[in-house]
Amino acid sequence: MEEESVGQWSAPEIAYLLTLWGEESVQDKIKGSYRNKSVFEDISAAMAEKGYRRSWLQCQRKVKALKSKYKEVKDHNSKSGNGRITFQFYDQMDRILGDKPSVTLTNVLDSSQDREDTDISTGRNCHAHINVC
């Protein structure tokens, strides 16, 4: 096997990784399993066929980092008063993970409730009335 890449991932390389990882059959294999080395070995091999030389571990770590970024953005956007943010692969990640329990909101607010938050930029407490539709 040829030596794998050690540099930055290119956008097309990440998009292809997500295409492979997002396939329903792959998601079914990963669901509820902590031992997914073989799945990422298959993804690594498929990427190699397209000329992308990444080890299974590099693929696994990149997916983990993308999932973390996705959750961070989704969390930020779910909070009232926050401006919407995104990242380059958000839409592709949302198609794959959007309905997964591990990334959906676990605390559902009543239809109307008062809440006090801290503004990160000022450190001040803010009292807000939240209406959830």
Of 2-6, 37-41, 106-110, least confident by mean pLDDT is: 106-110
- Tell me the pTM: 0.71
How far is it, in rounded angstroms, from Cα 40 to Cα 38? 5
- Residue 3 binned pLDDT confidence (cut-offs 50, 70, 90): low
Does residue 106 have a pLDDT over 60?
Answer: no
Name the β-bridge partners of 125.
118
CB atoms within 10 A of CB 32: 6
- What are the residue ranges spanned by the domains of the chain? 11-103
pLDDT tens-digit readout, 39-67: 999 999 999 999 999 999 999 999 999 99
* Mean pLDDT across 114-132: 41
Does residue 26 have a pLDDT over 70?
Answer: yes
Q: For residue 102, what pLDDT is reported?
A: 57
